Structure 1
């Protein structure tokens, strides 16, 4: 069969039959709706499905006769090797694009952000990766990351700042879990990275507990340094209330009037502001209720607002006050911190023979044993009420 010429191709009309190329089996120029224009089509039988298929190779004259022949010949070679050219093309166009570590990390961060309790944690999560990981692994594709790469990131501060290293490792692990789940890698390299790094000092050895004021000292400290008849001294009132309720300072600082039931004297902290993510009820002693009554009128929503900006107080407010009043602690060379009063309360509970269960419920500690937690259906509010009143009477025992 004679080869198709440009002269003949340029004269193809809409009603003409397809013009065979003549040099490649199955290749023909099909007419279009305009004279002198056509579409290249290669007809073949798929070696995979044994069905007849038509492969488009482009339009004439944009794709010349010679170019169409080269494309068709390549497809014929693929057919001879047992491959379907259209399936190969489809596989190539749908190939998974592997993202870099930084691209994946930012995607994971965006997906996780709505589930975090506060924006501060979200910013810390991505900032640690920006500082420690992106400079080394940021531009590396997920399927190319090895345990050695991860170890190189962690090694400079693995022993010096173990807490930070642990958090960075955990966040890298989260990103690589996402990568594994999406088919971007065959395994998580962080799972074995410990074998490439030295053994860290045990957490129990390196953990530095929050400086706490000995419980026997609290009454005198409150009477001499904290208690005041000034109605609107927010900082003093906040510290007193935090001690009386054995709550975390952040829970008290963001406390709202809508959380207080003055009829039953109960403060209910919503799940979103609890470390455990579980609603917590605190029975209020008469002294705690009196402090709340003194705070009325300062703000429509917040119980302990910042006097100037009328927003939630920062976590440094109580820290600065305790330093200024030289609040002694059980840690040599350090002043007591607000969180330490929870430890003081826990020690007082033990010394006064309150049950472990009631004391832990008062502190809203999570029960780690799942079997034990399954049987805890009550928060023992009534039992805790009497305990919190005895505690309040004790801490105020030196107030005139």
Structure 2
């Protein structure tokens, strides 16, 4: 049998230490909650009823969280019954005893972003690590087009696998590559939500068996046979209103580099005396610094580029401090009806090295800045085979300069 609830005494000093005797437990009744006069009443288990002079009644829990006392509001007594308040108080007390923070849980529940807001925060987190701003725009635009109409305004904690199936099913087979990209990007957003403790699982994990296999076919980037590369260089020379484009194209072919590495190349990376171009790790696909030996023709191209604009930090520029456009080389090749993309000339170089030379495979792979896949071999290889690569690149330049038949 519990004692009758008594309001806290006013105007008298509080007794030091804990009160003697048995702590109250379920001291209040539903009838008393409805009729209690102004004051503070203890129900037990850290739960209190506060009745204001105006008659407003609310539940407050006094709880020690990680060594500090806090008052947690549990809602109005008009909306939260005595039984509900006891359940909430018990759950909060249990969580606090286990080292958790009920206040943090409530803040998280209140501050959960929508899927669109979460995507924006993920983009802001990832963008500094990407080499291109365009990738960030593409990343967001794919979600805006396919995901946001369905789940953009939905709380990131409430997104379900059914929502994701509604997004992906219409494009899973008709736009297979796009669907895979959208799935990957939605997974990134929901992984972030898990890391922020807004949810406990990622619904993307359940989709693959349901969506089914796409029977992916590997499509290689269009590339020229190596015997036709020299003719392509001659066709591109002098065809653009800006000479920087053709120079950049020939430099790309001679160095077997990626277009992003060439497009953003800066004069500070070039050592004319040592005949070396050092591409920083931030611009490399493998995130490792890469030294590129420069043949005589590559140095001539650099001299011509320097004469065009020696004020820009970029080697190949469209004027001022701007590098060439990402589409510059594709337009040049398309204009000359050359059936290849810039990246395809790395394949042409690789085929030439395999078919026409005796250079070891590891030297050719190092020239392409490919990562050694075997972990044991990678652990022991401490050299970048630079001098052997210099001989390889000189042979490639000589092959391209030879106007004789490539049969």
Shorter-normalised TM-score: what interval? Answer: 0.7 to 0.9
User: What are the superposed Cα offsets for residues 348-399 of structure 1, whole Å, 9 maximum, x if unpaired?
Assistant: 1101132221111111123344343323322111110011011101101129
The alpha carbon displacement at 1:284 in A equals 0.3
Which secondary structure does the structure 2 equivalent of 1:42 belong to? strand
1:48-87 mapped onto 2 (5 Å cutoff): 55=48, 57=50, 59=52, 61=53, 63-64=54-55, 67=57, 87=93
Match of 2:63 in 1: none
Q: Report whether the alignment pairs 1:345 with 2:349.
A: yes
SS in structure 2 of the partner of residue 144 of structure 1: coil
Distance in 1 of aligned mates of 2:334 and 2:165: 40
Are residues 1:164 and 2:178 paired?
yes
Alpha-carbon distance in structure 1 between the residues aligned to 2:88 and 2:266:
72
1:305 Cα offset (Å): 1.1
Q: Which residue of 2 aligns with 1:50?
A: none
Distance 1:91 1:24, change over 3 A: farther
Q: 2:364 aligns with which of 359, 366, 391?
A: 359
> Counterparts of 2:136 and 2:325 in 1: how far apart (Å)?
18
Q: Which residue of the other structure, out of 219, 238, 254, is the alignment partner of 2:248?
A: 238
Q: Does 1:155 align with 2:169?
A: yes
Contact 1:159 1:200 in 2 (8 A): yes
Q: Which runs of 5+ in 2 are unaligned?
A: 13-36, 60-75
Q: Measure the CA separation in 2 of the matches of 1:83 and 1:237.
A: 73
| TM-score computed with the length of structure 2 as normaliser | 0.75
Counterpart of 2:5 (choices 15, 19, 25) is: 25
Per-residue CA shift, 1:132-172, capped at 9, x if unaligned? Answer: 11111223334433322211111111111111111111111
Larger radius of gyration: 1
Q: Deviations over 1:104-147 (max 9, x none)?
A: 22222222223222322222222211111111122333443332
Q: Report if the CA contact (8 A) 1:31-1:39 is conserved.
A: no
SS in 2 for 1:350: helix
> Are positions 1:209 and 2:220 aligned together?
yes
Alpha-carbon distance in 2 for matches of 1:251, 1:67: 68
> Structure 1 124/86 Cα, relative in aligned 2: closer, same or farther at 3 Å?
closer
Q: CA–CA distance in 1 between the matches of 2:84 and 2:215?
A: 60
Structure 2 match to 1:396: 401
Q: Distance in 1 between matches of 2:82 and 2:330?
A: 79
C-alpha deviations, 1:290-318, integer Å up to 9, x for none?
A: 11112223132221111x56521112222
Q: How far 1:226 moved relative to its partner?
A: 4.0
> 2: distance between equivalents of 1:82 and 1:309?
65
Paired residue for 1:180? 194
- Give SS of 1:57's match: strand
CA 198–86 in structure 1, closer or farther in 2 if over 3 Å, else same: closer
Of 355, 368, 375, the match for 2:380: 375
Q: Residue 216 of structure 1: SS of its match in structure 2? A: helix
CA pair 386-114 structure 1, distance change in 2 beyond 3 A:
same
Distance in 2, Cα, partners of 1:267 & 1:182: 42
Q: Is the 8 A contact 1:299 1:305 kept in 2?
A: no
Q: Are the counterparts in 2 of residues 361 and 379 from structure 1 also a CA contact under 8 Å?
A: yes
Of 99, 102, 106, the match for 2:116: 102
Q: Distance in 2 between matches of 1:86 and 1:26?
A: 24
Give the TM-score of the pair, scaled to structure 1.
0.76
Q: Is the 8 A contact 1:176 1:188 kept in 2?
A: yes
Q: Deviations over 1:89-108 (max 9, x none)?
A: 99488423144322322222
1:278 Cα deviation after fit: 1.5
SS of structure 2 residue aligned to 1:267: strand
Report the Cα distance in structure 2 between the residues aligned to 1:195 and 1:289, rounded to whole angstroms.
Answer: 54
Aligned to 1:40: 39
